[in-house]
Structure 1
Amino acid sequence: MPGSDDRAGPVDWSADLTLITEAAREAGKVAFAHFGQSPEVWWKNEGMSPVSAADYAANRVLEEILREARPGYGWLSEETDDDPDRLTRETLFVVDPIDGTRAFLAGKRTWCVSVAVVHKGAPVAGILVAPALDEEFTAIAGGKALCNGRDITVSAPEPEGRLKIASAQDMVAGIEKSLRPRVERVEHIPSLAYRLALVADGRIDGTLVKQNSHDWDLAAADLILSRAGGALTDLEGRALVYNRVEVTHPVLCAASTDLLPLLLSNVTRIPRS
């Protein structure tokens, strides 16, 4: 089993990437069948977050395929009740059946299925499937980041050039005045996973992420970004650790490894808790 004995040397996670790719594609087909069809909607988190019949249907597909294929892996999904047994597993699946449910329900195309394999707190295989956009982003530990099979890499903005930053207005307002004239705020991208993929693909230069994002929003996209030459960190520059008791995260910043220090040094006015 992948990851079962680290003493054997570097682990090849390609079989897991193949598995989660197949599963995410199937879940994407199921979700897409509901897209634009006004699926039934419920509200969770005290009425703050919508969840639809499409989310649950895609989650069932992922769970059936992945848990049957890797019964020894743990499981963490936005649409499955959390089981603390995952904390006893070195390796687990981290899943968001539809990242960007609000966009999905509004008929916007910027949503995706997000699936990652996390080993000892770090993502080692990840895929984002965006069926309405005909895009797939993949990455594997030690490998390349790909979009629809082509290599992708983060942007390389000019030293004093414009910086396309995708974040809420109040987050961008927290950037220090000395840097703000260079910042071009990109229109809100509802799916956090897809937003991070756009940083990896060089279509935007960076993003600031509000506190309380979850493991399932981030794990697959985090790996894709890192393999494309970027990084996702907290405001102290620390990498994220996944599969903890608490699965939410503080304010985060994502950009190329060259640009990240500049952003981190200029976002001190953003609340950190």
Structure 2
Amino acid sequence: MSASLTDAALAAHLAAVAGRLLLEVRASGIFSGKSLGLAGDQTANQFLVHALREARPDDGLLSEEMKCDGTRLLHERVWIVDPVDGTREYGEARADWAVHVGLAVGGNPVVGAVALPGAEGGLVLRSDQPRLLPLAPDRLRMVVSRTRPAREAVEIAARIGAELVPMGSAGAKAMAIILGQADIYLHSGGQYEWDSMAPVAVALAHGLHCSRIDGSPLRYNQPDVALPDLLICRREDAGMILEQIRDLPPA
């Protein structure tokens, strides 16, 4: 079956299955607190790693929950996954956590699927099935971390009069723009490739602007997997936001 699936269909299928597994782990009632997050991470990671190696044996693979041996750097095509993005939210039975499955080709985020298993009915947003974006509201909304909102995001929101919307995982924040729950995701507090690769692929497919906060492109499958900042927003707002970032005084 997997050999007949397109890369995008495979990403969406695996993200959805991993999401259902995570819900089953949580519903078992065996785990709680940190042990629930650990069990969920390990279960979803094991499934995704084995499934991708079976379905796409010639591709590279990078996962948050798997030690990287460097062989991915020898590949043009590399799958980048985050088995549970927003472990805290997953453990708290919130809706704002996600499963990321994406494919970078030549460092570019070309295929992505983001599952939101905690959303009503479960959702998988994918790069090959873009939705019509909702109209922008009169007052822009900026998603920020529930626990550690970035200084730049808070200051720029104040400058442009945007409403702050606290939310959990990076994937949930990025998908909130597509779902009409927010308009800007500006992050500068430190991330890794698996935090943003699949969400960025999905966002780009929906016509959104995606870049570093200095306006440079987001590149993946790099030797250093740290990718500390990003901006996802409507294209018509990107120039204004990037200008506001450049005008911020040093921390």
Matches within 5 A, 1:1-273: 15-35=6-26, 37=29, 39=31, 51-133=37-119, 134-140=122-128, 144-145=129-130, 151-153=131-133, 155-157=135-137, 161-167=138-144, 168=149, 170-175=151-156, 179-180=159-160, 182-186=161-165, 188-268=166-246, 269=248
Name 1:47's counterpart in structure 2.
Answer: none
**How many pairs align?**
240
Q: Any unmatched runs of 5+ in structure 1?
A: 1-12, 44-49, 146-150
After superposition, the C-alpha distances for 1:62-89 in whole angstroms (9 at most, x for unaligned) are 1111111111100100000012000000
Partner SS, residue 167 of structure 2: coil
Aligned-partner Cα distance in 2 for 1:173–1:194: 19
1:251 deviation in Å? 2.7
Partner SS, residue 175 of structure 1: helix
Aligned-partner Cα distance in 1 for 2:106–2:163: 37
Partner SS, residue 81 of structure 2: strand
Aligned-partner Cα distance in 1 for 2:53–2:150: 40
Q: Which has the higher strand share?
A: 1
Aligned-partner Cα distance in 1 for 2:250–2:124: 34
Aligned-partner Cα distance in 2 for 1:14–1:164: 37
Q: Which has the higher helix share?
A: 2
* Contact 2:15–2:101 (8 Å) recurs in 1: yes
Identity of aligned residues (%): 27
Aligned-partner Cα distance in 2 for 1:127–1:38: 29
Aligned-partner Cα distance in 1 for 2:206–2:49: 28
CA RMSD of aligned residues (A): 2.4
Aligned-partner Cα distance in 2 for 1:33–1:97: 14
Aligned-partner Cα distance in 1 for 2:84–2:9: 20
* Contact 1:174–1:267 (8 Å) recurs in 2: no
1:38 deviation in Å? 5.9
Q: TM-score, normalised by structure 2?
A: 0.87
Partner amino acid, structure 2, of 1:171? E
Q: TM-score, normalised by structure 1?
A: 0.80
